[in-house]
Amino acid sequence: MNTHTIKNFTSEKGKAMLSYEGYIYTLERKNDVKLIFRCQNRDYKGRCHTNPTMDVIVSAPTEHCHASKPDLVPILEFKNKIKSRAAETNVYDRAVANLPRSKNAIEGWHNAFAKRVAIVHPTITKLTEKIRREQSKFEVDIAQIRQGQEPKPKKLKYRKLDERIKRLVDDYGNVDLGDYLKGLAVNMSL
């Protein structure tokens, strides 16, 4: 029995892909009984066949005339993780759950830190000092929050924007799609 594992991926165009014995295959065609995969190297016509669930090799791969590329497998896995995370990210669901819609807090911190550094190309000594001060500031903020003090609130204009978007999202089922999109567009700026 063969001990090689099959790893499943998705191509850039959404086609099923698999890795087996260090070679990468792309789905060419399928029927009720099996899926037929073609070697990713388009100069070579190597094929392998799997069952419809892509967990068993039904027909062993034909011989390859090129070296395997097992180092591509982690790259494909990583790309697929990124794609699935992006697909799972849903601003609507985040708005319904009263979560931040974006990573603007991080961008805001970065802008504020850049202003505090106030030098385009600081020396390593000056940058280290600014980072130490920033760390001290955050340690004080964390200690205050642990003592029961409220964190610094958002600016009023951003709180109002969040409230408007939350109202629109909550009313999604009761409004025409065109009106819903217009309402969101009025509240968004690029």
Our CA angle for 65, 68, 71, nearest 5°, is 160
Place of tokens 């097992």: 70
CATH class of 7-81: mainly beta
2 pLDDT higher than 60: no
- Contact between 46 and 61 under an 8 Å Cβ cutoff? The reply is yes
Using CA atoms, how far residue 61 sits from 19, 31, 54, 105, 190, in Å, is: 11, 18, 14, 51, 50
CA 109 – CA 45 distance, rounded (Å): 53
Residue type, 38: R
Within 8 A by CB and 6+ apart from 189, the residues are none
The percent of residues in the chain predicted with pLDDT above 70, rounded, is 92
Confidence of residue 3 (pLDDT cuts 50, 70, 90): low
CA 181 – CA 103 distance, rounded (Å): 22
73 pLDDT higher than 50: yes
Output the six-digit token pair for 59. Answer: 């027909």
190 pLDDT higher than 50: no
- Residues 141-168, mean pLDDT to the nearest whole number: 88
- Contact between 169 and 95 under an 8 Å Cβ cutoff? The reply is yes
Segments making up each domain of the chain, as ranges? 7-81
